[in-house]
Amino acid sequence: MEIQLKHGTFVYINKMNPDEYKNGGESLTIQYNYFDCLFGQVLVANTDKGICYMAFDDDNTTALKGLKDIFPKAVYKNEKTNMQQDSLLIFTEKPKAVMLHVKGTDFQVKVWEELIKIPMSELTTYGTLAQQINNRKACRAVGSAVGDNPVSFLIPCHRVIQSSGKYGQYHWGPERKRRMIEWEKSYKM
């Protein structure tokens, strides 16, 4: 699915087919590298079809373990790619296009597509997301899909907060989530 963001960037979500991730991803070759960005150390990984993983973690081994837990039998190459570097432009300028290649259920991808539509610096709740996918009773399932997002920031799960207005938890730490939200409020593209 192709989604154009308000600032002109296109995000393309390519859902992996079962052949690409069956048997632990043994048919995949994944390139990965670590970068410094506004929010600390980030691991960015890609297949030949798009970014498949983005994780903020100051411990490189933990971030890489998270990726390898998803695709334990993939071939890994620690190398920097143009695709990785282009995806990081989201922090400094508007990239023209970001290709994602993600492993997820149809339901998860539907939730992630809704997340991508949330404009930068705006927030939503789990309940609102459930309504947007026409499944008001699915708040917990939406929360799980948000938490299972493999491409942090590019699929902006940090823009989902509790209905009370509290920012709540974040896989990469509540302080990092707060900093992301505050940065987006002050950033002008």
Q: Of residues 75 and 170, which shows the higher confidence score?
A: 75
Q: How much is the pLDDT for 120?
A: 84
Give the tokens for residue 172.
Answer: 């990469």
Phi-psi region of 53 (alpha: psi -120 to 50; beta: other; left: phi over 0): beta
Antiparallel, parallel or unpaired: β 10-15 and 97-102: parallel
Residues 184 and 26: their CA atoms lie apart, in Å, by: 38
- In a 10 Å sphere around its CB, with 0-12 CB exposed, 13-18 middle and 19+ buried, how is residue 14 labelled? middle
Is 65:77 a contact under the CB 8 Å cutoff? Answer: no
Q: How much is the pLDDT for 80?
A: 97
* Percent of the chain surpassing pLDDT 70: 93
Q: Of residues 185 and 8, which shows the higher confidence score?
A: 185
For the entire predicted model, the pTM comes to 0.90
Catalytic annotation, residues: 157
Q: How much is the pLDDT for 10?
A: 74
Q: How much is the pLDDT for 145?
A: 95
Give mean pLDDT, residues 113-135: 91
Residues 162 and 36: their CA atoms lie apart, in Å, by: 29
